[in-house]
Chains A and B, each alone.
Chain A
Amino acid sequence: MAFGVSPHGKPFARVRDRQADISFSVSHGGWHGLIAIAPGGRLGVDIEERVERRRLDLLIEAALGEEETAEVTSATGSEQLHLFFKLWTMKEALVKAHGLGMGLDATTFEIPRGMRRMDVSGTLVLPQMPDVTWRLEDLGEERFAAAIAHELAPEARP
């Protein structure tokens, strides 16, 4: 097995010089790593340690939509950091799954309201790609935020 990279920087597996029908994604944060492998459908994962960031305002501006920003900025202390990293990892997982790298501006879509609160999984359609449904799962715990985004096969869409 070998690895190739798409024009936008997304790695893929190659077997006998052909792109293999498996998807994978890798992330690391602090001392933790996360690897996901699936038999098909685009896939992205992200993991981040929930630690104070120097310029949270810039990170919010770079990654969150209008409603998400309002919710994060109205939260305080550890609750704010918890929500911020939850949204950040879900959005980064989607950006990685999507495969366009910097071509997908994370501020142009929002995580479904239920997942911003208590739901640990849900589905999402990006305005830039209306014919694709993504399944999102929040894998986070107290110290780490983590998420996985996986492209649903047409027959599995809600």
Chain B
Amino acid sequence: MASNEERLISLLDENLTIEGRNAGDPIDLDRNIAEAGVSSQDIAAFLRLVNEEFGTSISAGDCGDLLTPRSLLEYVDANAA
């Protein structure tokens, strides 16, 4: 079974367009996606997708702390159902 990191990267790849990144390029785990051309509403929708995929319950209030793939991965590792 794919690791949480592989699943999260795959979700990112399929659903968000990160400025300056070409398809197939590795994802920078420490880049803040809010500063990479992703709108706040797209981020909110993406976090709902993460909740669906991992059975987590990230709320609107948590969003501000989970804006890098690494912080999101740490959250998922600690809270996935």
Cβ of B48 and Cβ of A9 under 8 Å apart? no
Known: A91-B41, A95-B40, A102-B67. A61 touches B48 (CB 8 A): yes
Residues 94 to 129 of chain A near chain B (Cβ within 8 Å):
95-96, 101-107
Residues 42-80 of chain B, each 1 if its beta carbon lies under 8 Å from chain A, else 0: 111101110010000000100110010000000000000
Residues 75-109 of chain A, each 1 if its beta carbon lies under 8 Å from chain B, else 0: 00000000000001001100110000111111100
B43 contact set on A, CB distance < 8 A: 102
Q: When chains A and B are docked, how far (Å) is the Cα of A55 from the Cα of B46?
A: 10
Cβ of A58 and Cβ of B48 under 8 Å apart? yes
> B interface, by DSSP: helix, strand, loop or mixed?
helix
Cβ of B41 and Cβ of A58 under 8 Å apart? no
Q: When chains A and B are docked, how far (Å) is the Cα of A105 from the Cα of B47?
A: 13
Q: When chains A and B are docked, how far (Å) is the Cα of A54 from the Cα of B35?
A: 23
Cβ of B40 and Cβ of A54 under 8 Å apart? no
Known: A62-B42, A101-B34, A101-B40; 16 extra A-B contacts, CB below 8 A, are A9-B32, A9-B35, A54-B15, A55-B45, A58-B48, A61-B48, A62-B48, A63-B44, A88-B41, A91-B41, A102-B34, A102-B43, A102-B60, A102-B64, A103-B64, A105-B60
